[in-house]
Amino acid sequence: MRAALWGRENGVELNQIPEELLALCVRQGTGPLVFPMMLERADVPKPAQMIMRGVCVQTMQQHVQLQHTLQTAWLALTKAGIRPVLMKGAGLAALYPEPQQRQWGDIDLFVGKDQYHPACAVMRDTFPKALKFDEELDHYKHYNLIADGVSIEMHRVTVGWQHPVDERRYARMEARGVHNTRTLSIGDGTFEVFEPTFNALFVFVHAWEHMMTAGANLRQLCDLALLLHHRAEAIDRKQLRHDLSALRLMDVWQLYMYLLVEHLGLPETEAPFFTRGCAVRAERLLSDLLDGSRKPKDKSTQAPANRIARKFHTMQERLRDAAHVKAYSPAYGRHLVWTTMLHGARRFFAPDRHWE
């Protein structure tokens, strides 16, 4: 996989490595994965070596701090009778040849809706000096605080959905993933992670969510490739097919499978529902991912103060997002249009909007 990533991201000789290429690896979150292989080459320029070693050392140091904070948070929650599930970075890093090859900058713990408020209280008590800047509201996806320089996110839900049908269907999938958790050893601790089939679905949906909103990166594709590789025998393809179809995401899933096989070296046999029929759209998605076409929105453009004008402004932004998504998946783009209209109407006529 490291060789595939390097081949996809360069396009120049090693002795001509530009700063832009190093920045690309860092921006895509693949620096610690790619740089050790590059450092084995004698023809890598000294300045580039220094940058690459610096990134790798920094990542190793971050892992030590993150693992310490994770252990403290986990013990506090379990001691209080709360059952957390480890999400994303820390659990996925264990799938890499060396955990420090996977960057992760925060700790994500799923606690669910019933345990949400007690879990937030435990975190505040455990880290009394932590910075707290998120309100503990029931419509938020998670509550966030920064303890010892580490961001900890307490998740009510793993993914936020705008369409009520998608939300209900995914909630049942999420419950199944939590009910059948697996244990995972990280350092000196043992943690729970999602059941493999749901975890594959979640990692994919999370990557797609970023592609539609704040911008995705290659690291998320690496996560999915390694998860499918290491958990190939445990993934229930019949269940996965059902879940993807229920969420109208089978077409998008196949885009990702194409990229994992053709660019990251995942064997076709480990890429459920792989097809080459989506090659053009998949390559367009990868091109946009690499050049940052799905960057965060420009915050300098303020939404109108008037409530109706603000709602119309937000709807226009989301409809533009849906139009962009159609370039990858026309079917899901159409679904987003109807979702935006329905979600906007529900929010506009909701009786209690004091938190806006």
SS3 (DSSP) at 86: strand
Q: If you write DSSP's letter for every residue of 272-296 in order, what string do you get?
A: TT--STTHHHHHHHHHHHHHTTTPP
pLDDT above 80 (res 296):
no
Q: pLDDT, tens digit, for every residue of 65-87?
A: 899 999 999 999 999 999 999 99
Q: pLDDT, tens digit, for every residue of 162-212?
A: 888 999 999 999 999 999 999 999 888 999 999 999 999 999 999 999 998
Q: What percent of the chain has pLDDT over 90?
A: 57
Give the pLDDT mean for 126-131: 94
pLDDT above 60 (res 10):
no
Beta bridge mates, 183: 192
Q: What pLDDT is recorded for position 1?
A: 57
Sequence spans of domains, the chain: 303-350
Q: Locate the DSSP E strands across 16-149.
A: 85-87, 106-110, 131-132, 142-147
Q: pLDDT, tens digit, for every residue of 242-290?
A: 999 999 999 999 999 999 999 999 999 999 999 999 999 999 999 999 8
96 band by pLDDT with thresholds 50, 70 and 90: very high
Q: How far apart are the first and last CA of the chain?
A: 44
Q: What pLDDT is recorded for position 120?
A: 95
Q: Report the predicted TM-score, pTM, of the whole model to 2 decimal places.
A: 0.86
pLDDT above 70 (res 347):
no
SS3 (DSSP) at 268: helix
